[in-house]
Amino acid sequence: MLLWAATTLHSARVFADSMMLASFDTFEGGSAAPESRFQVQVVLRHDFFVPPRDALKLGEGVWWQDGDAGSVDFASSNAPNFDSFAARLIDGVDGFLYPTILASHGGAGGGAPESYFLNAFPDLIGSGIDFIRLIVNDVSIEPWESFPGNGIDGIQWFVDSTYEIWGRPVPEPGTLALVVFGLTGYSFRRKWQHNCPRRGVPSASSC
C-alpha cells in the first residue's frame, strides 16, 4: 500500500486550501464464491434510484488484502470518472451512494440517499470538490465454508472504512455580504488616503 500512501501525501500538498466538507463511516461484511485471490476492492458507487441508473464508481482496481490498512485520495489526476462523480455530489439532486465491497466473483454492500451520508440536503450543492479520501481502517478476509467439512467454498470479509469529501464550501450569503462590504470600505479608505495628505502637511483640499 506504499504507492497509495504516496498518492495521499501528494494530493494533500496539491489541495492545501481544501477543507473536509463531509465524512461517513462504513462497515461491510459479506462472502463470495470460490476464488484463488483473498483480496477485495473497496468501492463507492453512485447512481440514481430510477432508470437510467448510470452508475459511477470510485475504487475499482485497488485491491486490499487481509490485514491491510491505509488511505487513497481519488481526484481528477488518478480517477478517470472523478469529475463526473464529484459533479453529482453538488448538483442539487439527492442521488444514491452505495459503499460496496467487490471480490473477484461477487460482492456486497448497501445504499442510501446522498443526504444521509453527507449530512446535507439535498447534497453539497454549490461547493467545489477537490478529492475524495478513502481510509481503510481494517480488512479481515478468511476462508468460508457453506457446510462444515466440505472444504473451502469461498471467502468472507469484513471491511471497516471511512470516506472523506474534501473541497471548498459555498460561502454563506452573510459571508459574501461582509466580504463585499469590507472590500468597499478598503477601496474608500485607499481613495481617502490618496486625496488627503497626512496631518501637518499644507493642502488646498478639505479632508
What per-residue confidence (pLDDT) applies to 145? Answer: 75
Residues of the chain with pLDDT under 50: 1-13, 174-186, 188-189, 192, 201, 204-207
Closest C-alpha to 88, from 52, 121, 56: 56
Residues facing residue 168 across a β-bridge: 128
C-alpha atoms less than 13 angstroms from C-alpha of 75 in its C-beta half-sphere = 21
Strand 39-47 versus strand 56-58 pairing type: antiparallel
**Residue tagged 466538507 (cell numbers):** 21
Query: Nine-digit cell at 93?
Result: 439532486
Q: What is the pLDDT of residues 85-97, one digit of tens each?
A: 999 999 999 999 9
What per-residue confidence (pLDDT) applies to 186? Answer: 45
Residue spans of the domains in the chain: they are 2-168, 171-199
CA distance 68 to 135: 11
SS3 59: coil
Question: In this structure, what is the dihedral angle of CA atoms 16, 18, 23, 29, given to the nearest 10 degrees?
Answer: -50
What per-residue confidence (pLDDT) applies to 106? Answer: 81
Answer whether 137's CB lies under 8 Å from 68's CB.
no
Strand 63-65 versus strand 107-109 pairing type: unpaired
Query: Nine-digit cell at 188?
Result: 474608500
Look at the pTM and tell me if it is higher than 0.85: no
What per-residue confidence (pLDDT) applies to 82? Answer: 97
C-alpha atoms less than 13 angstroms from C-alpha of 30 in its C-beta half-sphere = 20
Distance from chain centroid for Cα 14: 15
What per-residue confidence (pLDDT) applies to 51? Answer: 62
